[in-house]
Amino acid sequence: MLAFTLLPVHPAIAPASAAAATASTLPGGKSTYVVSQGHLKTSSQQNWVRLGSYRFAANGTVSASMYLWWQRHPQARQRTGTVPDPSCTTKAGGAASKPRGCEVLTAGGFTGAPDESRTGTYTVAGDVLTIRWKIAQTWTEQWYVRPALDGKLARLDLKRSTLATHGYGYGSNAAIGTRRAMTSVKAFPGSLRQDLTSWASGKLVTSRDQPFGHSAFRACAATTSCLTYLQPSSRGACQKSGGCPKYGGGTRPNVSSIQYYLTMISKSDRRDTLWHWCTCLAMERGEFCYTGNSHVKPLMQIIDDTGAFRGWVGAEASFSTGSRATDMLAVLRISNFR
């Protein structure tokens, strides 16, 4: 269980350490990182995930701007205001080749300002970055710094943290306001693969090196901030035994398709979001657009020194409409540099 002192954090007054004050080496030579991290433990129902940015200065100081989703304070899914147009969706439902024309949802609060900001000091020794945050409780993080071969990007792999159990980070010298349009995301020439650790029903599941088929998404002609994809079938999800006893895989209708939506949240920063749900779950409820426990996954674009798109770090913050035991939380990365 988390210590009761873990609250949304704010900077506390504390003197900077002499060691950090003399630090002059940016981690991986990069100033701006997008970061996803979480406290995910099977024994806890007070898990949390955070998503946002770290900014490093050459004088040894670091600042964070983060969104926080915590089981202690569950947040309902939020409308984004984006409804993909008919070029990339359908109003017919059934066995269509396009996903349904529904307003995209995201995690609560992600369309607004970050929940928290904090400052700290950092040092880099060899390939290890150490951060000490200036908050009311002890919070120290260590990350392995992994520069990309092309020198345009650096990766952070979580070594240890006093509060988080999982984390990913990617950094460059591109400003946090630098982002790429969905046309560039779809046109990305590389292979994107996903690593993810998720918590659901008291269990942790880790998946690595899973392909993310960005090129299979359909661009929307009018709603250019959105991409959509209808996965025709799924072997493991959307099954009769997985909440779809009338319509899911293994039933007579045998509907195991998944509705996917990938949408920009802000033009002025790196925020995107991924929303997906099993078609059969909506059918079970007699709905066209699913209003139950869909998957909402806020994302931050990974941008390299040249301003090129290289994937995302993200978090799932899908709080159940029922009990905390059925929440779905995750920390993930989708990138060509892993």
Q: What was the pLDDT predicted at 22? A: 36
Q: What was the pLDDT predicted at 95? A: 72
**Cβ atoms of 169 and 313 closer than 8 Å:** yes
CB atoms within 10 A of CB 142: 15
Cut 0.85: pTM above it: yes
Q: What was the pLDDT predicted at 20? A: 38
pLDDT tens, residue order, the chain (338 aa): 333 233 344 444 334 333 333 334 899 999 999 999 999 999 999 999 999 999 999 999 999 999 999 999 999 999 999 999 999 999 987 777 999 999 999 999 999 999 999 999 999 999 999 999 999 888 999 999 999 999 999 999 999 999 999 999 999 999 999 999 999 999 999 999 999 999 999 999 999 999 999 999 999 999 999 999 999 999 999 999 989 999 999 999 999 999 999 999 999 999 999 999 999 999 999 999 999 999 999 999 999 999 999 999 999 999 998 899 999 999 999 999 99
Task: Write out 302-326 in H/E/C secondary structure.
Answer: EECCCCCEEEEEEEEEECCCCCHHH
Q: What was the pLDDT predicted at 6? A: 37
For the record, the structure tokens of 70 come out as 């915590």
CB atoms within 10 A of CB 222: 10
How many residues comprise the chain?
A: 338
CA atoms of 36 and 167, how far apart (whole Å): 5
